[in-house]
Structure 1
Amino acid sequence: MIGVFDSGHGGLTVLRALVDALPGRSFVYLGDHAHAPYGNRTPEEIYGLTVAAVERLFAQGCRLVVLACNTASALALRRLQQTWLPCHHPDRRVLGVLVPMVEAITGVPWMADIPAGRHAGEPRSVAIFATRRTVQSQAYPREIGKRAPEVEVVQQACPDLARLIEEDAPEAEIRRAVRRYTASLMDKLEHGTPSAVMLGCTHYPLVAGEFAAALPAGVDVLDQPALCARSLVHYLARHPEFDDDGGAPVTFLTTGDAAKVTRLATRFFGRPAPFARSIP
């Protein structure tokens, strides 16, 4: 089984793409709704909650877990991979949504040997909308800069947007928030119009149309769920030991109120998503 983790509903957008790309595979989705949102928590809180969630998924029989949460991927994944997994679960793996996006923006494989002082390409700019903690981590500018120093990365924190989407706020309220954040980002750009936009929170694909309407015409909005699904397919082809077949196609778990979570989940997953309470 493959585990998929997010702080709330947002990761269901990634899960749907994974299920579509890998039919016949078994997934366990865990939403930490009891502690959502993560975007306003401290890095230590995010790390601790992420480790606890991964442990729960390992206990469910998952040997591979995808962090379908940009905040957890940006603030917890590297430490988890480098220190926690080798000590506690050396035979298991945890992946994140950050890597596929960086590869898509730079065109450079994550594990490529990058020579110092390599020739930069034509200057271009990439805009990133994300939670406050993802922006503060500087994970995306750091990793993009290593591989494509010619890319100007301009970030915009959207502190309330994930919450508004999670709470199914009125469309007009969400539209106003998106337009406010988009206008703020456009004011920061040195080159006028970004060559691409990355929605760096898995909630945001649900309002991708609002971002496209608020941005200049022709700006490419990257599809994070689709990119993550393609990346996982390639990973499993390289690591068939994690490519398990299993029982039920998808199991949905939450640390919060299962009935309430289930009522909102269909909008994110695009089909019925019956959640059960995850007991520690």
Structure 2
Amino acid sequence: MIGVFDSGHGGLTVLHALTQRMPAASFTYFGDHGNAPYGPRPEGEIYTLTLAAVERLFAEGCSLVLIACNTASAVALRRLQQDWLPDAAPERRVLGVFVPMVEALSAVSWRDGAPGPKRVPEDGMVAVFATQRTIHSGAYPFEVGLRAPRMRVVSQACPNLVAAIEADEPEDVLHDLVTGYVAAMLKQTEGRVPEAAVLGCTHYPLVAHLFAAVLPSSVQLLDQPTIVADSLADYLTRHPRFAVESGQTGARRFLTSGDPARVAAFASRFFGSEVTFQAVGELNLL
């Protein structure tokens, strides 16, 4: 099994793309709905919860875990990979949705510095729309800056958007929120239009059509789930051991730290079809 972790529902948009890209692969999804949302939490709590979730998926038999949460990836991934994994689980791997997006923006491979396809000019501008915690982490401008120092990253927090999506607010309410975030971003750029935009939260694909409608037509809207799915498929090609260990039965399991009935009622909006969740108990912050 390949483990896929998110603080709630959002990672199901990534899981959907993964199953479309690799239909034979087997996946276990774990949503920490009992502690969601992660965005307003302090970084220390986000790291502790993310570590506990990875350990939970390892215990479920996953040798490879994808953190399908931008906030958790931005805050916790590097620390997990560098400080915890080498001693705690050296034969296992933890990946995140953050790295593929940085590679896509900078056109520089994380693993070896090899060039990739250019989506944004070297001296271009990209807008990142994300949760407040992801924006405050500074992860996107920092990591893109290491690989494409001439590129400008404009960071725009989108407070209340995740909550509005989760609450299934009417389209006009969501449209007004997105319009405000885009206007705030363009105010930062003093009217300059970025070449590309990243929806840096796995909830946001559900309102991608609104961003596309409000942003200037010349802005390329990068689809994070598709980019992540392509990246993971490439990783499994380069590391076939994890593909073999994950199994090729097309099995899907859905776990939650919340109320499985309540979680399942909303999950189909994110995954694209009905799913059944199994309760596994809350993660402990202590």
TM exceeding 0.5: yes
User: 1:273 Cα deviation (Å)?
Assistant: 1.3
Q: CA separation of 1:82/1:122 partners in 2, compared to 1, >3 Å: closer, same or farther?
A: closer
- Give unmatched runs, 5+ long, in structure 2: 115-120
User: 1:248 Cα deviation (Å)?
Assistant: 5.9
Q: How does 1:82-161 map to 2 (within 5 A)?
A: 82-113=82-113, 122-161=122-161
User: 1:122 Cα deviation (Å)?
Assistant: 4.6
In structure 1, what is the equivalent of residue 219 of structure 2? 219
User: 1:63 Cα deviation (Å)?
Assistant: 0.3
In structure 2, what is the equivalent of residue 26 of structure 1? 26
The range that moved more, 192-201 or 121-130, is: 121-130
Which SS does the other structure have where 1:128 is aligned? strand
User: 1:218 Cα deviation (Å)?
Assistant: 2.2
- Give unmatched runs, 5+ long, in structure 1: 115-120
Q: CA separation of 1:174/1:191 partners in 2, compared to 1, >3 Å: closer, same or farther?
A: closer
User: 1:22 Cα deviation (Å)?
Assistant: 0.9
> Distance in 2 between the 1:153 and 1:185 partners?
11
Q: Which of 236, 254, 257 is matched with 1:255 structurally? A: 257
- Following TM superposition, the consecutive aligned residue runs of length 4 or more in structure 1 with deviations greater than 3 angstroms are none
Whether contact under 8 Å (2:24, 2:250) holds in the other structure is no
Whether contact under 8 Å (1:29, 1:253) holds in the other structure is yes
Which SS does the other structure have where 1:251 is aligned? strand
User: 1:279 Cα deviation (Å)?
Assistant: 2.8
In structure 2, what is the equivalent of residue 267 of structure 1? 269
Which SS does the other structure have where 2:52 is aligned? helix
Whether contact under 8 Å (1:125, 1:191) holds in the other structure is no
In structure 2, what is the equivalent of residue 75 of structure 1? 75
In structure 2, what is the equivalent of residue 37 of structure 1? 37
RMSD of aligned Cα (Å): 1.4
Letter in 2 for 1:214: V
In structure 2, what is the equivalent of residue 182 of structure 1? 182
Which SS does the other structure have where 1:34 is aligned? coil
> Distance in 1 between the 2:87 and 2:161 partners?
37
Deviations 1:127-152 (A, max 9, x none): 00001110111111011011111111
Q: CA separation of 1:250/1:263 partners in 2, compared to 1, >3 Å: closer, same or farther?
A: same
> Distance in 2 between the 1:219 and 1:95 partners?
28
Which SS does the other structure have where 1:35 is aligned? coil
User: 1:246 Cα deviation (Å)?
Assistant: 5.0
Q: What is the percentage of aligned positions where both structures have the same residue?
A: 57
In structure 1, what is the equivalent of residue 60 of structure 2? 60
Q: Which of 269, 275, 278 is matched with 1:276 structurally? A: 278
In structure 2, what is the equivalent of residue 117 of structure 1? none
Q: CA separation of 1:59/1:175 partners in 2, compared to 1, >3 Å: closer, same or farther?
A: same
Whether contact under 8 Å (2:7, 2:69) holds in the other structure is yes
Whether contact under 8 Å (2:258, 2:281) holds in the other structure is no
> Distance in 2 between the 1:122 and 1:263 partners?
44
> Distance in 1 between the 2:237 and 2:66 partners?
16
- Equivalences, count: 274
Which SS does the other structure have where 1:142 is aligned? helix
Letter in 1 for 2:43: P
Whether contact under 8 Å (1:39, 1:159) holds in the other structure is no
Does structure 1 residue 235 correspond to structure 2 residue 235? yes
Whether contact under 8 Å (1:162, 1:203) holds in the other structure is yes
Whether contact under 8 Å (1:67, 1:94) holds in the other structure is yes
